[in-house]
Each structure stands twice: as C-alpha cells, then as structure tokens.
Structure 1
C-alpha cells in the first residue's frame, strides 16, 4: 500500500499483517481518486471513512489536504495503527473512533462532503449504508457517498445512486446528495 497523491505521495504504508482487513488495492484506489479529482475539489473537504481498516483512504484524503477525516472502525488494532500513522506523518486532521459502524451512524449528526464505506464484502447489511446515510441527512448539499463492494452486488436501486464502477472483483457505487433547488433554477 502506498499514498498515491498529495503531500505524502509515494509513501509506503506497512500495516501489521494481523489486522482484520482487506485494503482497497492501489489500482482501485488510483482509479477512485482519478474519478474524484474530476468531480470535486478534495482540498478542504470533510470526509467520513467508514470501516476504515488500515486507514489507507483516510491517509490518502489527508495527504490531499482534506480539512477533516473521521475514520471509524471496530478493530482497536486498526484504529491504533491509523492513529500512529497519522501522528507520525503530521496528519492532525485525522480523527479516529472505535465503534461498530452501524451503531456509530445511529448517533452521528455531522454532515460531510464525502463519505466512503469499505465494509467487509460478506457483510449482509451493505445495502443499508446508503439508506442510513440519506435518511439521516449525513451529506452536505452536493455531497458524495461511495460504497466499495463486490462487483456482483448491485446497489443501484437506491434513489440517490448515480453509477457503479467495476475494477475486477471490486466495485465502487456512487450516490449523490442533490444541491437543493440550485439545479431547478438553472434549468438543469
């Protein structure tokens, strides 16, 4: 694993082998950030990283000057690894929280520009993530939810779904929070 952009570009990450994770591959991460760079300005955004694992994506967002990155994982070993990595590289905008993601979402009230969720692929509750995020209004207007999942899974039946991008066995499903009445006024 490595940081592919921003101030820590090229930094190799070497998390302990015993962490209970399946990190996003460098290829999929590069593709994701190429898409994001064409859709939003990553500088100064608020990010919520659900099922953060090694913190691979939290570190990437922080390297690219996100204003704040809240990383949630239920493994204390993952949370501690990410805390140490953030401290070691001066990424003070990363905050970690050890919790079950679904319990955390029940109490979360902040809004974010971008929410990224990389749950275990065998988790049966993956389709609930977009429903909870939009029911609780956790995205700012124009905000983006991205859920990583197995390519054979389809999350396209949610009304805020916009597209699915496949990278081998992994896919990213994108969901957007409309910007309110701005589109109606301009005739979009």
Structure 2
C-alpha cells in the first residue's frame, strides 16, 4: 500500500499484519482517484471515511490537501494506526473516532463534501448506507457518497445512485446529492 498522490506521494504504508481489514487495492484506489480528479477538486474538501481500516484512503485524501478528514472504525487498533501515521506525517486535518459506523451515523450532524464507505464485504447492512446518508442529509449540496462493495452486489436502486465502477471483485458505487436537493433539505430544516 502506498500514497499515490499529493504531498506524501510514494509513501509506503506498513500497517500491522493483525489489523482486521481488507484494504482497497492500489489498482482500485488509483482508478478511484483518477475518477475523482476528473470530477472534483479534492483540495479543501470535508471528507468522512467510514470503516477506515488502515486509513489508506483517509491518508490519501489528507495528502491531497483535504480540509478535514474524519476517519471512523470500530477497531481501536485501526484507529490508533491511522492516528499515529497521521501524526508522524503531519496530517493534522485527520480526526479519528473509534465507533460502530451505524451508531456513529445515528448521531452525526456534520455535512461533508465526500463520504467514502468501505465496509466488510460480508456486512449485510451495506445497502442501508446510502439511505442513512441521504435521510440524515449528511452531504453538502453537490456532495458525493462512494461505497466500496463486492462487484456482484447491486446498490443501484437508491434514487441518488449515479454509477457503479467495477475493478475485479471490488466495485465503487457513486451517489450524488443534487445541488437543488441539498438546498431543499436545508429549507425544510429551517422551517
């Protein structure tokens, strides 16, 4: 695993072998960031990384000058690794939380430009993630949710789904908060 762009480009990540993770492959990560670079400017964005594991993506976003990166995982070992790696490399914009992602989402009120979720592939609650994110209005207008999952799984039935990109056994499903949708939700919450 390595950082593929930004100020830490080329940095090798060497997480402990005993972490309960299935990291996004370098190939899939490179493809994901190629897609993102063509759609949005990552610099200055507020990012939420759910099921952050080794922090592979949180560290990548921070290396590319995201304003803030909130990394959530239920494993204290993963959270400590991300926290230590961020501190070691001066990535002060990374904040870590040890929490069950679904419980975390129940109480989360911040809005983000981009939410990335890389849950365990055998988790049966994966289809709930888009519903929770959009029901709770956790994306800023124009914001994006990306869920990594097994390629055989289909998340396209959510109204905010835009596209699924396959990379071998892994896929990324993209969901977008339409500009007007975000404004409507804010208007309703102001009433």
Same fold (TM over 0.5): yes
Measured against aligned partners, the alpha-carbon deviations of 1:102-160 in whole angstroms (never above 9, x if no partner) come to 00000000000000000000000000000000000000000000000000000000000
CA change 1:155–1:181 in 2 (3 A) is: closer
TM-score after normalising by structure 1? 0.96
Measured against aligned partners, the alpha-carbon deviations of 1:40-60 in whole angstroms (never above 9, x if no partner) come to 000000000000000000000
TM-score after normalising by structure 2? 0.94
Shift of 1:15: 0.1
Alignment of 1:62-81 (within 5 A): 62-81=62-81
Match of 1:179 in 2: 179
Measured against aligned partners, the alpha-carbon deviations of 1:47-93 in whole angstroms (never above 9, x if no partner) come to 00000000000000000000000000000000000000000000000
What is the rounded CA distance, in whole Å, between the counterparts of 2:89 and 2:154 in structure 1? 37
SS of residue matched to 2:18: coil
Instruction: Answer yes or no: is 1:7 the counterpart of 2:1.
Output: no
Match of 1:99 in 2: 99
Runs of 4+ in 1 over 6 A off after TM superposition: none
What is the rounded CA distance, in whole Å, between the counterparts of 1:43 and 1:140 in structure 2? 16
**What's the Cα RMSD here?**
0.9
Match of 2:188 in 1: none
| Count of residue correspondences | 182
Structure 1 segments unaligned to the other structure (5+ residues): 183-188
Shift of 1:17: 0.3
Alignment of 1:30-179 (within 5 A): 30-179=30-179
Structure 2 segments unaligned to the other structure (5+ residues): 183-191
What is the rounded CA distance, in whole Å, between the counterparts of 1:20 and 1:124 in structure 2? 17
